[in-house]
């Protein structure tokens, strides 16, 4: 699903809310940003990716999801350069305070930036509950010393790590080549070296699905989120055999608001998959609630 050409929007109808029989639903992958950064994100996606359907500011997008019946939201952001993490973390902590018990915020840090340890300490003190890294947007080697410093802190503070470690969706417009920086083998080294670190890899590890499936079977410190992968949107992305996965390791995540289709497109695919109530409970909420310690 290399984004060689711009993809188009899908005008699929929006559901009014969650299907009524759905258990407690937590969205484990939601992006918030200060407004100026959102504007650059929209511009980038317009030029190289796909048109983002929900051009909402942060309060509006959080209210939107909660009004649809989402019970809890994991909010993510990433510093794309050194020097901006503190400001983004403050913005995240303030936002969480405005939605008590509804939003869990992840901290950001740029691997290799000065004071990475202090930045994270301050972020955790302000109430943030984990760290989000993005390998090819932040252009770092997952097995470098700079990255290990961050993993060490997360493990010793018992904070979960969300790391975009997959190669897709990729674009020639990225400054770094995801195919050089990202591989399931590199991630496996982190799983081995930091057995006490809880790791979530978004997008079911796209596009190394089989390798990531194996890793979840082999390691007890790896989880995967579903963001955008279950939606049949990307060209050449065949239906995902979620039934064959270790279902205590899968968390529903939407990638909202940076999506070109309706907010519930992925939820409708999960609904169609016909899981038992017990499995639905796990995928839609329980797994993530445990991973992010939201309860
Ligand atoms: Zn995302």
Which pLDDT band, with edges at 50, 70 and 90, does 295 fall under?
low
Report the pLDDT value the prediction gives residue 4, as an integer from 0 to 100. Answer: 55
Q: How many Cα atoms occupy the beta-carbon half-sphere of 131 within 13 Å? A: 35
**Span 35-51, mean pLDDT?**
92
Distance 151 CA to ligand 1 centre (A): 20
Section 258-264 average pLDDT: 96
C-alpha 68 – ligand 1 centre gap (Å):
20
Residue with tokens 């017990």: 278
134 CA from centroid of ligand 1 (Å): 9
pLDDT digits over 77-120, tens only?
999 999 999 999 999 999 999 999 999 999 999 999 999 999 99
Residues 162-215 pLDDT 10s: 999 988 877 777 778 888 888 999 999 999 999 999 999 999 998 899 999 999
Q: Per the domain annotation, does 13 fall within a domain?
A: no
**Is residue 19, in this structure, part of any structural domain at all?**
no
Please give the distance, rounded to the nearest whole angstrom, from the Cα atom of residue 23 to the centre of ligand 1. Answer: 23
Q: How far is the CA of 31 from the centre of ligand 1 (A)?
A: 6
How many angstroms separate the alpha carbon of residue 168 from the centre of ligand 1? Answer: 11
Confidence of residue 264 (pLDDT cuts 50, 70, 90): very high
CA of 78 to the centre of ligand 1 (A): 10
Q: How far is the CA of 164 from the centre of ligand 1 (A)?
A: 8
Per the structure, the count of domains in the chain is 1
> How far does the centroid of ligand 1 lie from the alpha carbon of residue 256, in Å?
8
Give the residue from 97, 68, 109, 127 showing the smallest Cα distance to 267: 68
Q: In angstroms, what is the span from residue 49 Cα to ligand 1's centroid? A: 13
Distance 32 CA to ligand 1 centre (A): 10
Quote the domain boundaries for residue 168: 26-291
Q: Is residue 246 part of a domain?
A: yes
Pairing of strands 222-225, 103-105: unpaired
Task: Kindly give the distance from the C-alpha atom of residue 75 to the centroid of ligand 1, in angstroms, as a whole number.
Answer: 10
Nearest to 135 by CA among 231, 62, 201, 56: 201
Q: What is the CATH classification number for the domain harbouring 251?
A: 3.20.20.140
Count other C-beta atoms under 10 Å from residue 112's C-beta. 17
Let me know if residue 159 belongs to a domain.
Answer: yes
In a domain, 223, yes or no: yes
pTM of the model: 0.95
Residue 2 forms part of a structural domain? no
Q: What is the pLDDT of residues 17-40, one digit of tens each?
A: 998 899 999 999 999 999 999 999
Would 6 be classed as within a structural domain?
no
Q: What is the mean pLDDT of residues 141-167?
A: 96
Q: How far apart are the first and last CA of the chain?
A: 36
**Residue 11 belongs to a domain:** no
Average pLDDT along the chain: 93
């Amino acid at each position: 699903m290399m984004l060689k050409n711009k993809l188009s929007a899908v005008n699929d109808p929006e559901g009014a809310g969650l299907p009524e029989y759905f258990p407690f639903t937590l969205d484990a992958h939601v992006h918030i940003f200060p407004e100026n950064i959102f504007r650059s994100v929209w511009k980038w996606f317009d030029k190289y990716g796909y048109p983002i359907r929900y051009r909402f500011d942060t309060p509006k997008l959080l209210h939107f999801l909660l009004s649809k019946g989402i019970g809890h939201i994991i909010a993510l952001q990433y510093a794309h350069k050194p020097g901006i993490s503190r400001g983004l973390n403050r913005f995240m902590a303030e936002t969480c305070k405005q939605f008590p018990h509804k939003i869990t915020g992840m901290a950001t840090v740029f691997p290799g930036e000065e004071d990475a340890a202090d930045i994270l300490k301050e972020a955790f003190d302000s109430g943030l509950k984990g760290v989000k890294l993005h390998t090819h947007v932040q252009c770092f080697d997952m097995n470098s010393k700079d990255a290990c410093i961050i993993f060490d802190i997360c493990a010793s503070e018992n904070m979960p790590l969300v790391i975009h470690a997959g190669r897709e969706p990729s674009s020639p417009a990225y400054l770094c080549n995801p195919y050089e920086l990202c591989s399931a083998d590199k991630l496996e080294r982190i799983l081995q070296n930091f057995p006490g670190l809880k790791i979530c890899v978004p997008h079911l590890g796209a596009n190394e699905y089989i390798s990531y499936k194996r890793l979840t079977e082999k390691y007890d410190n790896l989880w995967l989120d579903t963001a955008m992968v279950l939606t049949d949107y990307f060209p050449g992305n065949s239906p995902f055999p979620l039934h064959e996965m270790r279902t205590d390791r899968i968390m529903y995540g939407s990638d909202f608001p940076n999506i070109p289709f309706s907010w519930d497109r992925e939820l409708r695919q999960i609904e169609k998959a016909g899981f038992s109530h017990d499995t639905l409970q796990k995928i839609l909420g329980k797994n993530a609630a445990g991973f992010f310690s939201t309860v």
